[in-house]
Amino acid sequence: MMNELSVIPFVIQRLTPAIQAPMRELVQDIRLYAEDPLKADALLMEFHLLMLHSCGNRVMKVFAGVVRTYFKSTKHLIKEKPKEFFEKRADLCEKLLASLKNKELNSAALILTEMIEVKDGQ
């Protein structure tokens, strides 16, 4: 969580329409596949990875491997999650994207924290 939170200021600075568009598409796809937990979770992982890649920091881009490992190691926690779980994730992704776009650092950090804690906690 600490690593993802640390990139938020960089993402805010570098967020372009070219990055926002695929992030929005991922949010739509998470909703579309909400009834397929493994597919929806893979899309959620791609959302996080895209955010990391957009920060422009090579070290954080390398951290993407850790994010992949995290998502793979938590598959057993999500494989039985109901559709609503991933609809909530999509809502949070959408809110995060809006906060990033509006350069709302504190709001983005709170939303990202909720996204990560909820996955671990539910």
Q: Which long-range contacts (CB under 8 A, 24 or more apart) does 98-104 make?
A: 100/8, 100/11, 100/12, 100/15, 100/51, 101/15, 101/20, 103/12
pTM: 0.87
Residue 53 CA to residue 44 CA, distance in Å, equals 14
Neighbours of 7 (CB within 10 A): 22
Between residues 52 and 43, the one the model is more confident about: 43
CATH of the domain at 26: 1.20.120.530
Q: How many domains does the chain have?
A: 1
Tell me the average pLDDT across 84-98: 96
Q: Identify the domain containing residue 64 by its residue range.
A: 2-121
pLDDT of amino acid 121: 44
pLDDT at 43 over 50: yes
